Every structure is written in C-alpha cells, then in structure tokens.
Amino acid sequence: MKFELQYNDSQSNARAGLITTDHGQIETPIFMPVGTQGAVKAVHMPELEKDIQAQIILGNTYHLYLRPGLDILRQAGGLHKFNSWNKPILTDSGGFQVFSLAHNRKLTEEGAIFRSHVDGSKHIFTPENVMDIERTIGADIMMAFDECTPGDAEYSYAKKSLDLTERWLDRCITRFNETECEYGYKQALFPIVQGCVYPDLRKRAAENIASKEAEGNAIGGLAVGEPTEKMYEMIEVVNEILPKDKPRYLMGVGTPANILEAIERGVDMFDCIMPTRNGRNGQLFTRRGILNMRNKKWANDFNPIDAEGTSFVDTLYSKAYLRHLFIVNEILALQIASIHNLAFYLWLVKEARKHIIAGDYSNWKRSIIDDVTRRL
C-alpha cells in the first residue's frame, strides 16, 4: 500500500492524500461505508460504487469469522469475490465486538475468550489467529488486534489495557510478517492507538506505534462514551506524534460534525454505522440539516427528498413519499434513506477535500458545521 500526501490546508492540519492498493486508489479524506457481514445494509454494490461513489468499504472480522466462516470465504477466493466488491476493503480486528460482549468474554495474555452471540459456542481470538483470519478474509487493509477500553475507564484499567494491547501488537506484527495474502495481492496492517482519555497514555501509545513504521495507523477507543471535546483533545495529542506521511484512520466516528472536526485535526479515514443505522430509523443527514422522516410535517411535502443531494434517490422521490414508506414499514424506505445518507457522507468528505486543496478548509468548515447539525 502506498500513501501520497498531496495537499496541506493553509489554515489547519487538514490534509488531502492518495492511498494506492492492489484493488484501486482512495482519495482522502475518505468515509468508508460499513459492511459488517459482507454487505452494506440495504445497498447493492453497483449503487455503492456508481451512485454513492464509495471508494472503500469495511468488513467485520468477528462477524465474518462466525458467519459465513473461513472455509466459505476461502472457497470463494476471499471477501472481494464473495460479495462482488472489486475496490479496496478494510477489516477491523474484532476487538471492538469482543469488547461489546462484556458479559460473554474473558481477556487473558493469550487472547480474548468469548462466546458467540449466534449460538453460544466458545472461541478464542489471539493476535496470531486474528492475523490469519484477516488474511483469509483478504482485506486490503487489516487492523491489529487490540482491547478497546470504554470511555469512562479508570486510569489504572486503561494503562493495564494499553500494556496488553501493545504486547498483542508486537505479536500481530510478527505473525503478519510471517504470512502472506492467500489470494496473491498485498495487504497492509494498521496498528491501533489506544489509551482511553488519558493524554500520557495516548502519547505513549502513539510513540510506540510510530516506531513500528506501519503503512498506516489507526486511532481507536474514541466515541465510546467520552465527551466529544475529550475525543478531539485525544486526536490532537495523537496526531502530533503519528507520522505525517502515513494515513490516519479514526475508527467508528461519527457524526458529520465529528468528521469535519477530525479532518481539521489531521485525520484521513473514517467509518461509522450511523448513516445506515440512523437512516433505517428515519433520520436523514443533509447539508441544510437533519430530517426525521417520520414527522407529520413531511406528510404533504412533495418536494424532493434533497434537491441538493448527489444520489438518484434524492430527486426521484419526495419527502411525502418517503415518509409514507416509513409509516407503513415498507422496506424501500430503509433502502432510500441508507443510500441518501451514505451519498451525503461521501459528498461531505469529497467537498472537504476540495476545500483542503483550495486552502480554505477551516473557513468552509465554520460556514457549514452549524447547518449540518441543525434539526429541521
């Protein structure tokens, strides 16, 4: 994987770059739709590529390991061939999912012992077998196995957790270097900065990861319960240290405002389930504000869903029609809203890139951030 830093904003730490993988190029800053179980919910691959204009999507190691399982993925030739997505894919390591199974998992030096949420069967994730699993899935970018601490963790727990994550990282790197992709193309490994909300732990973690000289680096353990301002503070601490010539990925974040603020602080890559999850619940993000499509006020509004939107759904359907679909629980409502929201998120980062190149990112961000957070 190669990363070319192309532009730096004259007013802030915002950057624009180009990631090159064996499955294509990615212009940064970029938002990555989440395809947890091999599919971005309610969206076809041609819609993702041609209408939404996604450049890279995510797969989830924990879920894909359980279903369909590694044998099926290997027989298919990897996730790209299994789900018919021919552009880059990133897989997380399953660390966050194991963290979410608080009552069904146990952490040891060896790894994380957990019970499947599907059938209760017992499994273990170690740094070594997670690298092997991600090799079999075949993503272009693999994440190291870590422990994700909650945002309100005590300092002593956060330090102990970071100690374990750093030991696991060394084992991940060793295993990654001992193995190769099963399908003949190159894969990259990103370490993950942890440390909860404690600046000294985040600084230590970032310095350790910078020393590994990986092809890219991730910031994890944010947007998990800590105050928003604390999240921004941790991003600033970390990005002062992480190499400027490598892409920086903020995991699981977030709202349009979160993304705009993090770009200003030097983040290049984002993912979040919010566009599709909130969309399925009737919430639409637009450059003019946020709409709740279940509200009565849209019942006889025959204007387009979003006259300024970039997706075909935005001008093909009216607000009144989309509200009707939600009220009658029509599946098409979930599809329309998911496509719209993803297209908006991709528009947002593409527009951010334009203003970074123009050198006026911070001014543009200030002009739009109140609009994208307003409730309509």
Measure the CA–CA gap between 37 and 59, rounded to whole angstroms. Answer: 6
Q: Are 294 and 273 in contact (CB under 8 A)?
A: no
Residue found under tokens 């604390």: 230
User: Using the 8-state DSSP alphabet, how is residue 125 labeled?
Assistant: E
Length of the chain: 376
Instruction: For residue 221, say whether it is annotated as part of any ligand binding site.
Output: yes
Of the CA atoms within 13 Å of residue 235, those in its CB half-sphere come to 29
Instruction: For residue 94, say whether it is annotated as part of any ligand binding site.
Output: yes
Residue found under tokens 């997706």: 311
Instruction: For residue 37, say whether it is annotated as part of any ligand binding site.
Output: no
Instruction: For residue 335, say whether it is annotated as part of any ligand binding site.
Output: no
Measure the CA–CA gap between 345 and 207, rounded to whole angstroms. Answer: 31
Instruction: For residue 92, say whether it is annotated as part of any ligand binding site.
Output: yes
Helix (H, G, I), strand (E, B) or coil at 337: helix
Instruction: For residue 360, say whether it is annotated as part of any ligand binding site.
Output: no
Helix (H, G, I), strand (E, B) or coil at 223: coil
For the question of residue 271 being annotated catalytic, the response is yes
Q: How far is CA 324 from the centre of its chain?
A: 31
Instruction: For residue 216, say whether it is annotated as part of any ligand binding site.
Output: no
CA-closest candidate to residue 260, choices 360, 349, 356:
349
Q: Are 95 and 162 in contact (CB under 8 A)?
A: no
Instruction: For residue 370, say whether it is annotated as part of any ligand binding site.
Output: no
268, 271, 306, 314: which is the annotated catalytic residue?
271
92, 268, 306, 314: which is the annotated catalytic residue?
92
Helix (H, G, I), strand (E, B) or coil at 150: coil
How would you class 62 by CB atoms within 10 Å of its CB: exposed for 0-12, middle for 13-18, buried for 19 or more?
buried
The set of residues, in sequence order, having a beta carbon less than 8 Å from that of 102 and lying 6+ positions away, is none
Q: Name the H helices within the chain.
A: 45-46, 61-66, 70-76, 79-83, 95-100, 127-137, 155-178, 199-210, 228-239, 256-264, 274-280, 312-316, 319-327, 331-358, 361-373
**Pair type for strands 217-219 and 192-193:** parallel
Of the CA atoms within 13 Å of residue 7, those in its CB half-sphere come to 20
For the question of residue 268 being annotated catalytic, the response is no
Give the residue ranges of the annotated binding site for substrate. 92-96, 146, 194, 221
Give the residue ranges of the annotated binding site. 92-96, 146, 194, 221
Q: Which residues are catalytic?
A: 92, 271
